[in-house]
C-alpha cells in the first residue's frame, strides 16, 4: 500500500542555540613562585542559529524528517588564561518566501523574502568570565568564575508562501498543468486524474522586455478555505501573488460549468481572506478548440464577469491559440502591481519574548556579614553588562531598582557602606 502524499509547505521544528562555556577557576603555578594570581580563562561563546534563503529549494520537505536542530556549545575556559573554543553556528536553508513563526503564539519571527537573505534566529550564549577577571584589592584569590549563558531553545513553524507574480487557480483537470508547461520552463507531470497536483509548479515566462514567475496553485475543492483536502496549505501560496489567473474548462469536458467554477473558487478565496479575494483576476477560457459552442460560452463568461473588471481570454493550452494575448495582458498587470506583495513584519522577538526565567533571591549572610543576590536572572545580567564602564554600572543599578531588588535590600535592613555580593562581584551599598 502506498503512503499518502504529503505536501511539505509547513513544518514544525525545534531550534537551539549553543550554551556559553563556563569561565575557569585556576591559579598560576610556577617554580619558585609561592602564590600566583588567578589565571582562569573565559569560556567560548555558544553557536548561533541562522536561517538563510536557498534559491534551489521550493519545498520544506527536508524538515519533515528531521525536527530538531542544535548549534554546538562553547567550551569551558582553561588555565593559563586560555579561552574556550567558540561553538559552531548552524545555518538552516529555506525556500524564498518562508515565514518563520513562534509555534505556540503563531507570531511572526521573520519573513525570509526580499532583502532578508540571512536571519539570526537564536544567538548563542556568551561565554563566562574566568576568575582572572575578579581579582581586586580585597579579593586577591577569587574562587569564582562566571557560568556561561544558557542556550536558547524555541519551537518554530516554517510556513512556505510561494514567491510568484501570477497564481493559477482552477479545479482539477481544467488544463492548468498543460498551460504552465506550454508557457514556461516548468515541466509538471500531466495526467487526466481527478485529484490535484500535490506541489505548486513554478515556472518563468520569458517575454520580450521582461517576464514573470507563474505558479500552478494546485486545484481547489469545495471547502478548501475550511481546510478540506489540502486547501489551506495551498491557499496560503496565493497571498504573495500579484495576479490570479482562473483557468476554466470552457468545453465542459467533464460536465463542469465554467461560470459556476469561477464563483465557487471566488467563494473559497473570500472565505480565506479579503486580501486574497481582492487581487487582480483574469479568466482564461480553456479547451475552446474542443468546445461545441465556443462563442456562446465566451459570451456568457464575459457577460457575467467583465462588468466587474475581470477580463476573459479564450485559449487552448493544447494548440497555443490565444496564449500570446493572454501573456501580454498578464505581463502588463504584473508590472502595474509589482510592489503589491506583502511582507510580514516581525512580531515575536526570541531574546525578549521568552517565558520569564527563574526568580532571583536576596538574602543576608550573617557569617560573612554581606548581603547576597543570586539567581539565573542576575547571572544573565552580569554576563550582558560591562560593570567597568559608568554607563554599564548605571544600567545595572537601574535593573536592580526596576526589579525591586533594592527595595528587598532595604527591607532586610541594609545600611550605607554595607557590602553586597553577586557571585564574584562585591559592592559597597549607598543610597
| CATH number of domain containing 248 | 3.40.50.300
Strands 201-207 and 118-122: unpaired
**166-169 vs 243-249, strand pairing mode:** parallel
Q: Whole-angstrom Cα distance, residue 324 to residue 344?
A: 34
Where residue 33 sits, what CATH number does that domain have? 2.70.210.12
Number of other residues whose CB lies within 10 A of the CB of residue 413: 9
* Residue 57 burial class via C-beta count within 10 angstroms: exposed 0-12, middle 13-18, buried 19 and up: middle
- Final residue before a domain boundary, out of 100, 132, 160: 160
Structural domain ending residue among the three candidates 160, 178, 213? 160
Q: Quick one: which H or E segment has residue 278?
A: none
**Residue 242 and residue 164: Cα distance in Å, rounded?**
8
pLDDT of residue 154: 94
pLDDT at 82: 93
Residue 315 lies in a domain: yes
Q: Are 171 and 110 contained in the same domain?
A: no
In a shared domain, residues 171 and 315: yes
Pair (143, 207) in one structural domain: no
182 and 230 part of one domain = yes
Domain assignment of residue 351, yes or no: no
| Separation of alpha carbons 124 and 161, rounded Å | 29
pLDDT of residue 302: 95
Same domain, 101 and 62: yes
Number of domains the chain contains: 3
pLDDT at 188: 45
139 and 55 within one domain: yes
Looking at the structure, tell me whether residues 108 and 182 fall in a common domain. no
In a domain, 343, yes or no: no
Could you tell me which of 61, 58, 93 has the C-alpha nearest to residue 186? 58
Cell numbers standing for residue 23: 569561565
Residue 126, CA atoms < 13 Å, CB-side half-sphere: 12
Distance in Å from the first CA to the final CA of the chain? 77
CA 4 – CA 313 distance, rounded (Å)? 37
Q: Is 16 helix (H, G, I), strand (E, B) or coil?
A: strand
Q: Is residue 175 part of a domain?
A: yes
Residue 259's domain comprises: 166-336
- Indicate whether 363 and 220 sit together in one domain: no
Is the pTM here over 0.85, yes or no?
no
Domain shared by 283 and 193, yes or no: yes
Pair (117, 196) in one structural domain: no
Q: What is the CA radius of gyration of the chain?
A: 32
Residue 348 lies inside a defined structural domain of this protein? no
Q: What nine digits make up the cell of 119?
A: 536571519
List the pLDDT tens digit at each of the 431 positions of the chain. Answer: 233 333 447 899 999 999 999 999 888 776 665 566 888 899 999 999 999 999 888 778 889 889 999 999 999 999 889 999 999 999 999 988 899 999 999 999 999 988 899 999 999 999 988 988 877 766 677 777 888 888 999 999 998 877 788 988 888 788 888 898 888 865 544 433 333 345 567 778 888 877 888 887 665 555 544 444 444 556 777 788 889 999 999 988 778 899 999 998 888 888 888 888 899 999 999 998 888 888 999 999 999 999 999 999 999 999 999 999 999 999 999 988 877 777 788 888 887 666 555 567 889 988 888 999 888 777 767 765 667 667 667 778 888 888 888 999 999 999 988 999 887 778 888 87
pLDDT of amino acid 117: 93
Same domain, yes or no: 173 and 137:
no
* Domain annotation covers residue 225: yes
- Do 299 and 364 share a structural domain? no
Query: Domain boundary residue among 117, 133, 160?
Result: 160
Amino acid at each position: 500500500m502506498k503512503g499518502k502524499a504529503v505536501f511539505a509547505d509547513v513544518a514544525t521544528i525545534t531550534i537551539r542555540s549553543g550554551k556559553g562555556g563556563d569561565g575557569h577557576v585556576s591559579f598560576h603555578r610556577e617554580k619558585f613562585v609561592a602564590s600566583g594570581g588567578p589565571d582562569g580563562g573565559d569560556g567560548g561563546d555558544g553557536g548561533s542559529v541562522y536561517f538563510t534563503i536557498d534559491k534551489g529549494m521550493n519545498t520544506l520537505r527536508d524538515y519533515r524528517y528531521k525536527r530538531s536542530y542544535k548549534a554546538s556549545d562553547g567550551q569551558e575556559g582553561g588555565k593559563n588564561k586560555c579561552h574556550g573554543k567558540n561553538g559552531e553556528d548552524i545555518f538552516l536553508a529555506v525556500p524564498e518566501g518562508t515565514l518563520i513563526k513562534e509555534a505556540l503564539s503563531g507570531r511572526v519571527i521573520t519573513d525570509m523574502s526580499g532583502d532578508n537573505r540571512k536571519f539570526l534566529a537564536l544567538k548563542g550564549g556568551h561565554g563566562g568570565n574566568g576568575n582572572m577577571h575578579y581579582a581586586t584589592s580585597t579579593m586577591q584569590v577569587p574562587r569564582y568564575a562566571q557560568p556561561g549563558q544558557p542556550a536558547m531553545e524555541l519551537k518554530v513553524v516554517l510556513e512556505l508562501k510561494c514567491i510568484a507574480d501570477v497564481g493559477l487557480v482552477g479545479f482539477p483537470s481544467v488544463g492548468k498543468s498543460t498551460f504552465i508547461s506550454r508557457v514556461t520552463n516548468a515541466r509538471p507531470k500531466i495526467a487526466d486524474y481527478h485529484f490535484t497536483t500535490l506541489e505548486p509548479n513554478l515556472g518563468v515566462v520569458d517575454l520580450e522586455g521582461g517576464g514573470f514567475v507563474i505558479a500552478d496553485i494546485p486545484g481547489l475543492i469545495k471547502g478548501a478555505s475550511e481546510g478540506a483536502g489540502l486547501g489551506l496549505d495551498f491557499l496560503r501560496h496565493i497571498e504573495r501573488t500579484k495576479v490570479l489567473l482562473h483557468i476554466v474548462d470552457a468545453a465542459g469536458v467533464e460536465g463542469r460549468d465554467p461560470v459556476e467554477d469561477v464563483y465557487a473558487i471566488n467563494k473559497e478565496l473570500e472565505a480565506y481572506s479579503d486580501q486574497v479575494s481582492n487581487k487582480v483576476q483574469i479568466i482564461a477560457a480553456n479547451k475552446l478548440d474542443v468546445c461545441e459552442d465556443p462563442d456562446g460560452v465566451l459570451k456568457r463568461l464575459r457577460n457575467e464577469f467583465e462588468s466587474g473588471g475581470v477580463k476573459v481570454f479564450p485559449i487552448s493550452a493544447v494548440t497555443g491559440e490565444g496564449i500570446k494575448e493572454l501573456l501580454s495582458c498578464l505581463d502588463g498587470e504584473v508590472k502595474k502591481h509589482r510592489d503589491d506583495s506583502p511582507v510580514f513584519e516581525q512580531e515575536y522577538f526570541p531574546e525578549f519574548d521568552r517565558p520569564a526565567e527563574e526568580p532571583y533571591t536576596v538574602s543576608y549572610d550573617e557569617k560573612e556579614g554581606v548581603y547576597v543576590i543570586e539567581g539565573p536572572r542576575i547571572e544573565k545580567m552580569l554576563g550582558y553588562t560591562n560593570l567597568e564602564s559608568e554607563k554599564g554600572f548605571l544600567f545595572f543599578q537601574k535593573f536592580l531598582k526596576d526589579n525591586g531588588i533594592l527595595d528587598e535590600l532595604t527591607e532586610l535592613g541594609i545600611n550605607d557602606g554595607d557590602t553586597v555580593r553577586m557571585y564574584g562581584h562585591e559592592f559597597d551599598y549607598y543610597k
